[in-house]
Structure 1
Amino acid sequence: MEMERVTEFPIRQLDRRPRKRPRLGWDVLPEVPKAQLGLFCGQDVGSVTSYAPLRQPSNISSSLIVKEVAQNGSPPWREDDKDGHYMFELGENITSRYKIHSKMGEGTFGQVLECWDRERKEMVAIKIVRGLKKYREAAMIEVDVLQQLGKHDKDGNRCVQIRNWFDYRNHVCIVFEKLGPSLYDFLRKNNYRSFPIDLAREIGRQLLECVAFMHDLRLIHTDLKPENILLVSPDYVKVPDYKGGALFQTHENLEHLAMMEKVLGPIPAHMLKRADRSAEKYIRKGKLDWPEGAASRESIRAVLKLPRLQNLVMQHVDHSAGDLINLLQGLLRYDPSERLTAREALRHPFFSRDHLRRL
């Protein structure tokens, strides 16, 4: 895989004060498609891709454009903002190869721009990382992981593809293939209507194939969630963004553990006994210290309203519920030694029985 490095300016000291920045929305097609999955590496990149078809940009009319820039020329030098984000105007160039078409989104890591690749004659998504040391270092780790994945996924069937990367005005820029919206965006735009069981099965199969592929390379994806499942076409998806996500919406540790027990059942006693000192405050007499240790009544109510896993599944699945419940229980077992691996899960009856029916 060819990589490109372009360094135009030396590293500069920047104001390191953190600041929350609003994320942008995405244009999402009104209908829920079939799905095809794949994998994407990095921080928040998966949540900022859009589904516009590949096209060469026409003349852009925007209040962000102040003056014309020579077709392939570099834009004027600008200071980054106080958080180290790259400042740009629509229609400008990033090196002579890429022309900025639109802003697709942003996050803690930086921002993602939709750009026209003059060399390949296609739209790409360029992740422009903040010009701060810790983000630059994280970006280089991401590039290394992406290169590993690309080396072993030559056909690009499993992973989001890195086109190249370069260093531009103290910003690491990673160029990706441009993909569709996230599964979360489709759910949101369709009022969170459930997917048909056959579609859920196909998405699950592709997800597990992606995860198994990563595990074979001794890589772990720690942020599997709808925001990080990207639609490639009406019947194909890819998986991005390799960091940490949560099944339960809480940042309070004891409440989180109580939610897990409510949905998945009690935490095994042998695991509680092995808890280190930092976790001892959550345990009393060999059990989770709940609800006695709850922070508030609201916290107790939030836990009590959660359904058991099997009840949650049966609310939405009218057939294949038994196989699906059994599969999820295997994937969510507390003890890693008892938990299904991705490859074991692919052989589960939830998938194999469907295969036999089609034969």
Structure 2
Amino acid sequence: MSSAMYSQQAIGMPSTPTRKRKRLTQVSYSEVKELDSEGKLRDVIVIDDTPPPSTSATASASVVGGMGTGSIDNFMPPRRTRAQVAAAAKAAMSATSTNGAGSSSGSVIAQSMNRKRKRENGEDTFISNGIYAKKPNLGIPTGRQWQPADNGAIVPTNPSQITQPQQPCDDKEGHYIVIPDDMIHNRYRTVRLLGQGTFGKVVEAIDTKFQTRVAVKIIRAIPKYRDASKIEIRVLNRLKERDPQNIQQVFKCIHLLEYFDHRNHICIVTELLGKCVYDFLKENDFTPFPRLHIQSFARQLLDSVAFLHSQRLVHTDLKPENILLVCNDFRLRPMVPAGLPGRRGSAAPKQRRELESTEIRLIDFGSATFDEEYHSTVVSTRHYRAPEIILGNYGIWIINVFLEMLNERIGLGWSFPCDAFSLGCILVEFYTGQALFQTHDNLEHLAMMEAVMGKMPDKFSRSGARNKPEFFKEGAKLAWPSPKSTKQSKKDVKATKSLGEIIQATDTINRHFLDLVRRLLIFDPAHRITVAEALKHPYFQTKVPPE
């Protein structure tokens, strides 16, 4: 063991049990003559296993145990014989016992004198408070960045130069790995995962600057999703310009607080809201909403989308998953089967959840599109996709932009009316608890639309036949069923009910609601009611009677 170790113990430094030092591989030997305890001259071997530090010394090159702050490069431990080493060890053990440290520490030193130890590759040692220990792997760059402190510990010369090695933060699909109490952007401390989609993840976090809870949308570290998030940030900034402090909240859209890039993930910070409407429906066994709540939802959604359209924005992805409740609180209400109120011996009536508040916010502007800019071929989630998108004609929208000045419309290019169609599908889902069009095939989807809304107008079907001839037969009639249609698909289309069967006009509020939905669910976008016009519909001036 190094002679410097024993010089520490000889001067009475307290000894504490530590991890044993690895012996260095460079050991030098020399012979000297020395008088033993009986006065006889003997040949002894001097072992020096602590060579002077090199010019690139790191933490192991230090002045010993606070014995001074001289030059690290010029320090040379004294050369001592085996007899001197043994005497120093004996004195160290005696001093340890006197100080109440017990004999266990001394036995550790005595045992370590004869034990051979091999140094591990790339491992070094340093002196901290007078004892040897392994140098921790701090990811320290090369070069001298350490200096001795007054108490003998080793401290960095420039702490800002020390970089901690970062662990991988992504999974194989580019999603950010969310862990509790992770600090994002040195400000937001993660609490829990709120949801995950193709775009990335949303987490609840605490803003340590203001001690408030926020939602952080963490985009996947994949170029196409990063590009889409930049579009969303642009849209959210446009919305924020109209209400910078989110005081009015009249537009019912999510409010942007901040955005930044964190470890190759674009992060969007917004206000923290409740669960999405779809999750509430699912947890409520897909029980329909009360008609009073549907009227409130409809007014807020039309208000929100009308504001987007006034900013020349098409949302393109309206669905219950993108509508968040501001508050999740609910009360339980019994659902007594008709004609069986309180019958003795019958099972307890089923209960449903009823929201305390119907206030909502519209979210997810990742696919929102400015009307004058490029339109993707396919937009919207399948169940809420307008017919003009299914029968899209690849670029006719460019002509429409110029022809709008002449109040003319041709072709089937999608624009603002596709949002109105999606809203019609959503309102029916609120009324029944189930998606209106449950399909994953284009032709089947069009066949279901005809079952719900009636036959396509001739002008619309002829335009569709020019763009998608595979969906039509002679005379621009929908080619349903096709030879490839399955038995189950035919059965599903046959079971699809018309709007009049789904929403039965039993009273005034239902008649107005049915009329509004019919105007939203029209094949030809040129004749579909706009969201601004829908807000003036008599449905919103009619009081909903008690359930």
For the pair 1:295 / 2:385, whether they are aligned, the reply is no
SS at match of 2:314: coil
For the pair 1:93 / 2:183, whether they are aligned, the reply is yes
State the alpha-carbon separation in 2 of the partners of residues 270 and 75 from structure 1.
65
Answer yes or no: is the 8 Å Cα contact 1:74–1:92 preserved in 2. no
Answer yes or no: is the 8 Å Cα contact 2:451–2:498 preserved in 1. yes
467, 471, 496: which is aligned to 1:306?
496
SS at match of 1:224: coil
Post-superposition offset of 1:241? 2.0
State the alpha-carbon separation in 1 of the partners of residues 322 and 188 from structure 2.
25
Post-superposition offset of 1:88? 3.8
Partner of 2:172: 82
- Report the residue type matching 2:241 in the other structure: K
- Report the residue type matching 1:266 in the other structure: K
Matches within 5 A, 1:213-228: 213-228=307-322
CA offset digits 1:7-48 (Å, max 9, x no partner): xxxxxxxxxxxxxxxxxxxxxxxxxxxxxxxxxxxxxxxxxx
Gaps of 5+ in 2: 1-162, 328-356, 368-379, 385-436
SS at match of 1:275: helix
Partner of 1:175: 269
TM-score by length of 1: 0.74
Answer yes or no: is the 8 Å Cα contact 1:166–1:173 preserved in 2. yes
Answer yes or no: is the 8 Å Cα contact 2:465–2:472 preserved in 1. no
Answer yes or no: is the 8 Å Cα contact 1:101–1:115 preserved in 2. yes
TM-score by length of 2: 0.49
Which of structures 1 and 2 has the larger relative contact order (alpha carbons within 8 angstroms, sep 6+)?
Answer: 1
For the pair 1:103 / 2:292, whether they are aligned, the reply is no
Cα 1:332–1:128 shift into 2, 3 Å: same
For the pair 1:140 / 2:230, whether they are aligned, the reply is yes
For the pair 1:126 / 2:220, whether they are aligned, the reply is no
Q: How many residues of Structure 1 are paired with residues of Structure 2 in the alignment?
A: 283
Matches within 5 A, 1:150-299: 150-154=240-244, 155-157=248-250, 158-233=252-327, 234-242=357-365, 243=367, 244-245=380-381, 246-247=383-384, 248-275=437-464, 277-285=466-474, 286-293=476-483, 295-299=485-489
- Report the residue type matching 2:249 in the other structure: G
- Report the residue type matching 1:313 in the other structure: I
CA offset digits 1:289-341 (Å, max 9, x no partner): 112455211111011111101111129x7651111111001011111121110
State the alpha-carbon separation in 2 of the partners of residues 273 and 166 from structure 1.
48
Cα 1:330–1:88 shift into 2, 3 Å: closer
Post-superposition offset of 1:269? 1.0
204, 225, 231: which is aligned to 1:114?
204
State the alpha-carbon separation in 2 of the partners of residues 255 and 221 from structure 1.
25
SS at match of 2:236: helix
- Report the residue type matching 2:487 in the other structure: R
Displacement over 4 Å in runs of 4+: none
SS at match of 1:314: coil
Answer yes or no: is the 8 Å Cα contact 1:74–1:93 preserved in 2. no
CA-based RMSD of the aligned residues comes to 2.2
State the alpha-carbon separation in 2 of the partners of residues 353 and 252 from structure 1.
38
Gaps of 5+ in 1: 1-72
- Report the residue type matching 2:449 in the other structure: M
SS at match of 1:128: strand
